[in-house]
Chain A
């Protein structure tokens, strides 16, 4: 197998192994895991572009579907449904693992894999060969492998609206945006998972999730960034900072003066106070899109407030602008953030009016990053409509690309937050992947835990 030197991403996965009450250390088969999450995806199809990206959606995808490759904790590509690959020019040929079946019992074939990839990437030329698929596009090998590892490129057999994957759990019941029932796939190519079933309740607020965990109605929940410090650390796991909180402008600046005003706003925001007070110290202040653990140079983009410089810049431009800053009415933290930013801006001579309506000049955005720097930057650039000259390259090219995205004036990074989960003590061997999704493949529940 040819292994690429694609070297990025990923904090070490945090493995949870709480103290086994009865001394049981070998995984136990059985049990139903009850999960609650805030996301409420309207579709389970990983390729459905109209469903917003979220960590909850990624979690569901990983339970039902597999990708052709993935990246390990040291950012090296690993085989999943493809057991080897070879690049030649602009073509990547991936040899498929044998004896893999979809949840409906049908065999995974090169044709079914090619059909899945074509639907997900209409611009790619995907060809089914006797035991492999070949992909032609303008990405280099490293970049294409990184693309193939993304959840949206999971291999799906779509059959009259029914979705079949090859992951450890199969769909039993699905009520869009509300609940999902999954059962262990007895014939999973990696072996049947330890858990018998997973029940997922969606669209739950963080507060409701924590209550459900405390009352024993849920076994695994998400934790709001501001609540991390108040949660029992023994039953909690967090990723490295991988969710970007940023100010996202609806339009690009119409003039150099407006761009300078946006810089003024960035200089006026006291990110440290926001983190320490509103988020109880969780996360990192950010002047960059990519967190420092991912790029190594994030500190170069200053996140410090500089009111003197902000006022100086503001003084050079008149008249004073009036912007509406939007926040999600469903997220109490967003409103507090918007109000604090408006206060900071006022100190620099900028006037921001807060609103929960969609018609805002800029808004508080929660942007999930991917596990690699190029894919993260590409995704953010796509979302905000900023140019990205390259999709892969050296560290210096990454830095230059990030500077260009920031210079577009469409985004002002504020904070980078970890994604945190809490579980009841009887859930063993669960982990948080480098992309902040849950790894429940080898999770198991202690006997008598429920």
Chain B
């Protein structure tokens, strides 16, 4: 359903790209004729803009037609004719078409029209559908911090810096069902991060730096936000805790005025673990032990097994998380790539022995990933990116398919 919605939007954008240039063609032709009258003109064209050759040819033909219809006879190799040099130029916001009109012995006259540039055609890069698959959940102009699917293919909640919005998905379209503001007494830190999770007893919980919000259990949708430090849920704690709807997650405390976790973790049972300050973490449960991976604020990936903290040379981005699936070894780490361009990618890894090994092709994103969280159900993750082509924020579900 979401895929159809996305394709429909893309189709509209492509359809809108077939620009009708006839109005500015006639406008410029009128301005030229106002300067030349019906005297013979010698016409030349130059495309100085980013318009493609085909478009420039269409415009040239249109202008010739408009001029011919208004009276002046277009001649070639006639020294007595008025020369009209038309340039298709542009500035930051518009196409600018300029006609330089030169009569012999007179000062050059200039006519111009300005055509606001339409929004460019957006295009998406296809992911490589191997083991790791991405599907678009939501797209909007306002920043997205996280998305929670409340009912599969039917209802989802979008966390933005100032509000939570709940949408109903119907027949390829979406409708805002309700929304609520997030109250926070202090300005948000830069590189704002947040987490939204569906719950069983009330609709959802929201975690933001120094603020936690619970939605109302009954009646009109509202958020009760408190300024307090509680652990943010990160991922499913262990094999016994996994499963649809499971809320048994490992948590970690988030530094209220920064963009990282303090390094103090909690888990079901109440135990605490002190680790380096980190941006993201992943837990892999193996037959005999548990391995933690941390994207620490020192820029390195730490691998913690028992009490041993080992620095790795992994070239991952600052965001990764773990999911539990029925594929492969049963646990995978989904890791972003180190930033080197405006795009990003996510790849799945397993840790059979000492070091992680890739188990999927990288899935490409047309923008940097700003959030990567394991979903409440534990077998998939939500990745949020800012699309550098459209400027929109987009949230994707990432899931691993077996046997690909």
A394 surroundings in chain B (CB, below 8 A): 114
A32 surroundings in chain B (CB, below 8 A): none
Given the contacts A27-B190, A193-B190, A296-B91, A17 and B110 also touching, CB distance less than 8 Å:
no
Q: Does A161 contact B (CB under 8 A)?
A: no
Given the contacts A28-B297, A29-B259, A395-B96, A299 and B187 also touching, CB distance less than 8 Å:
no
Q: Is the CB of B191 within 8 A of A27?
A: yes
In angstroms, Cα B190 to Cα A158, docked, is 28
Q: Is the CB of A190 within 8 A of B187?
A: yes
Most A-side CB within 10 Å, residue of B94, B96, B189, B299: B299
In angstroms, Cα B338 to Cα A170, docked, is 33
A105 surroundings in chain B (CB, below 8 A): none
Nearest-CB distance from A79 to chain B (Å)? 14
Interface string of B254-298 (1 = CB under 8 A from A): 000111100000000000000000011000000000000001011
- Which of chain B's residues 93-129 have a Cβ closer than 8 Å to chain A? 93-96, 98, 100, 110, 112, 114, 116
Nearest-CB distance from A343 to chain B (Å)? 29
Looking at the complex, which of A118-126, A277-285, A314-322, A440-448 is the stretch in contact with chain B?
Answer: A440-448
In angstroms, Cα B260 to Cα A399, docked, is 52
* Chain A positions near chain B (C-beta within 8 angstroms): 7-11, 15, 17, 19-29, 74-75, 99, 186-194, 292-297, 299-300, 373, 394-396, 399, 441-442, 446-448
In angstroms, Cα B95 to Cα A300, docked, is 15
Nearest-CB distance from B109 to chain A (Å)? 11
A293 surroundings in chain B (CB, below 8 A): 91-92
In angstroms, Cα B92 to Cα A7, docked, is 8
Q: Does B336 contact A (CB under 8 A)?
A: yes
In angstroms, Cα B244 to Cα A190, docked, is 39
Looking at the complex, which of B33-41, B149-157, B316-324 is the stretch in contact with chain A?
Answer: B316-324
In angstroms, Cα B187 to Cα A193, docked, is 12
- Which of chain B's residues 292-317 have a Cβ closer than 8 Å to chain A? 295, 297-301, 314-317
Cβ-closest chain B residue relative to A292: B89
B298 surroundings in chain A (CB, below 8 A): 22, 447-448
A21 surroundings in chain B (CB, below 8 A): 299
Q: Is the CB of B48 within 8 A of A299?
A: yes
Most B-side CB within 10 Å, residue of A25, A75, A447: A25
In angstroms, Cα B94 to Cα A9, docked, is 10
A99 surroundings in chain B (CB, below 8 A): 187
In angstroms, Cα B119 to Cα A74, docked, is 11
- Which of chain B's residues 170-225 have a Cβ closer than 8 Å to chain A? 187-192
Contact of A7 among B93, B100, B110, B316 (CB under 8 A): B93
Q: Does B341 contact A (CB under 8 A)?
A: yes
Q: Does B340 contact A (CB under 8 A)?
A: yes
Nearest 5 pairs of A and B residues by beta carbon: A296-B96, A26-B318, A22-B299, A296-B91, A24-B299
Q: Is the CB of B257 within 8 A of A447?
A: no
In angstroms, Cα B342 to Cα A447, docked, is 21
* Chain B positions near chain A (C-beta within 8 angstroms): 48, 87, 89-96, 98, 100, 110, 112, 114, 116, 187-192, 257-260, 279-280, 295, 297-301, 314-319, 336, 338-342, 368
In angstroms, Cα B314 to Cα A20, docked, is 12
What are 28 contact pairs spanning A and B, CB under 8 A? A7-B94, A7-B116, A9-B92, A9-B93, A22-B299, A22-B338, A23-B301, A23-B316, A25-B317, A26-B279, A28-B297, A29-B259, A75-B93, A186-B257, A189-B187, A191-B188, A191-B192, A296-B89, A296-B91, A296-B95, A297-B89, A297-B110, A297-B112, A300-B98, A300-B110, A442-B190, A447-B298, A448-B298
B91 surroundings in chain A (CB, below 8 A): 8, 292-296, 373
Q: Is the CB of A399 within 8 A of B110?
A: yes
Nearest-CB distance from A244 to chain B (Å)? 16
- Other 11 A-B pairs with CB < 8 A, given A20-B339, A22-B300, A441-B190: A7-B116, A19-B338, A26-B280, A27-B190, A27-B259, A190-B187, A190-B190, A294-B92, A296-B98, A297-B96, A373-B91
In angstroms, Cα B338 to Cα A24, docked, is 6
Q: Is the CB of A25 within 8 A of B48?
A: no
Contact of B190 among A23, A191, A292, A446 (CB under 8 A): A191
Q: Is the CB of B189 within 8 A of A192?
A: yes
In angstroms, Cα B91 to Cα A295, docked, is 6
Nearest-CB distance from A168 to chain B (Å)? 9
Given the contacts A191-B190, A299-B48, A10 and B112 also touching, CB distance less than 8 Å:
no
Cβ-closest chain A residue relative to B257: A192
In angstroms, Cα B340 to Cα A218, docked, is 23
Nearest-CB distance from B115 to chain A (Å)? 10
In angstroms, Cα B91 to Cα A192, docked, is 36
In angstroms, Cα B339 to Cα A25, docked, is 6
Q: Is the CB of B315 within 8 A of A191?
A: no
Nearest-CB distance from A121 to chain B (Å)? 27
In angstroms, Cα B48 to Cα A373, docked, is 19
Nearest-CB distance from B274 to chain A (Å)? 20
In angstroms, Cα B94 to Cα A10, docked, is 12
Cβ-closest chain A residue relative to B95: A296
A446 surroundings in chain B (CB, below 8 A): 299
Most A-side CB within 10 Å, residue of B87, B187, B190, B368: B190
B94 surroundings in chain A (CB, below 8 A): 7, 296, 395
Q: Is the CB of A23 within 8 A of B96?
A: no
Nearest-CB distance from A165 to chain B (Å)? 16
Most B-side CB within 10 Å, residue of A19, A300, A441: A300
